[in-house]
Copies of this chain bind each other. A is one copy, B any other.
């Protein structure tokens, strides 16, 4: 959910594409974000969690390595039943059981299967014009006609703008890179206004969001609560952000059992065993450590608010983020408001943030929430530039 978009990546003339399919020739693949191989960089560019995963994750993986890792010689459970049960239990209050849960190799794989199952249709798919840059890549991969619906001037999603014929809608919530949250009422409206379309809410960052309705404080704004209400709603989530497990590649979808069945059939027509034994065990252990999870999310939320207020003090216009990053407009006092120049100048000081050279957002920087030490280092570096 965090990486570099590629505007066009036609094969360079040097590459011999003689034996490629037309499909392969016409791809404009997603290029994964920079993962520097040395450690001293202050890495605030791909929205990873600054805290480690639950200690129970390591213990669960270690347990498999007893007996000389003998268990690894056997195939894993292809349907990850234990993990799906554990995820269902998390949402028991909303009537979710394992038949409502699908898991995959990161939410990216889950999203790819969602496109194949629900959006390969004649009518178009609707998505915000500014959102996760893998969506248009999937659309091309699966021959899906995607229509981009502009965000409002304040970058919020205008759910009325989606009232048009479509096979589906996909919205990242909180959206990326803006960090803005769409409320459950708007999602309920989208799902009920499009009974014959599949509405996908991509909740990669939802665990860092808090409900804005004070009467519901403490409740999650996740649309998983609506899954039993709407048979056309798919909610995707990931272990990469709030569970500090980007390195383990686990994502999931919650939906009506008939939609989960489609995803399962598509998976088994492509790759039957996407989750290895270590990933299944580690992910299960993470789910079972609710206290650690709640603590880390709260720590990130607290640091996000500190980061937002420190940036505001420096003159940044900071969007009200509900994610583990902030999206902020560079003030003119800082290198004449040239966001790209600021990103480059920070890089020279060993700090990586994300700049998007795209219309409407090219004056902004997306900055992941790091540790408090990283936050201090960032703010000091920015002060040097003023």
Give the distance in Å from the alpha carbon of A247 to the alpha carbon of B264 in the complex.
Answer: 19
Given A17-B258, A21-B121, A117-B20, check contact A108 B271 (CB 8 Å): yes
A174 in the interface (beta carbon within 8 A): no
Interface-centre pick from A2, A16, A57 (highest chain B CB count, 10 A): A16
Give the distance in Å from the alpha carbon of A84 to the alpha carbon of B40 in the complex.
Answer: 25
Cβ-defined partner of A75 (8 Å) among B20, B32, B53: B32
Contact between A3 and B278, CB atoms less than 8 A apart: no
Cβ-defined partner of A244 (8 Å) among B73, B247, B278: B73
Chain B residues near A109 (CB-CB < 8 A): 270-271, 274
Contact between B46 and A75, CB atoms less than 8 A apart: yes
Contact between A27 and B273, CB atoms less than 8 A apart: no
Contact between A78 and B32, CB atoms less than 8 A apart: yes
Residues of A1-33 contacting chain B, CB below 8 A? 2-3, 9, 11, 15-24, 27-33
Contact between B72 and A52, CB atoms less than 8 A apart: yes
Q: How large is the interface on A (under 10, 10 to 19, 20 to 34, 35 or more residues)?
A: 35 or more
A381 in the interface (beta carbon within 8 A): no
Contact between A258 and B35, CB atoms less than 8 A apart: no
Contact between A105 and B271, CB atoms less than 8 A apart: yes
A268 in the interface (beta carbon within 8 A): yes
A329 in the interface (beta carbon within 8 A): no
In the complex, residue of chain B having the shortest beta-carbon distance to the beta carbon of A16: B258
Chain B residues near A249 (CB-CB < 8 A): 76, 273-276
- A288 vs chain B, min Cβ distance (A): 15
- A residues sitting closer than 8 Å to B (CB atoms) are 2-3, 9, 11, 15-24, 27-33, 35, 37, 43, 46, 48-53, 55, 57-58, 61-62, 65, 67-78, 105-106, 108-109, 112, 116-121, 137-138, 140-141, 196-198, 231-232, 240, 244-249, 258-259, 261-262, 264-279, 282
- A-B contacts, 28 of them at CB < 8 A, read A11-B261, A15-B258, A18-B196, A18-B258, A19-B259, A20-B117, A20-B118, A24-B265, A27-B265, A27-B269, A28-B269, A29-B264, A29-B265, A29-B266, A30-B272, A32-B272, A35-B76, A50-B73, A55-B68, A57-B69, A57-B72, A58-B68, A72-B247, A73-B246, A76-B246, A248-B278, A274-B274, A279-B279
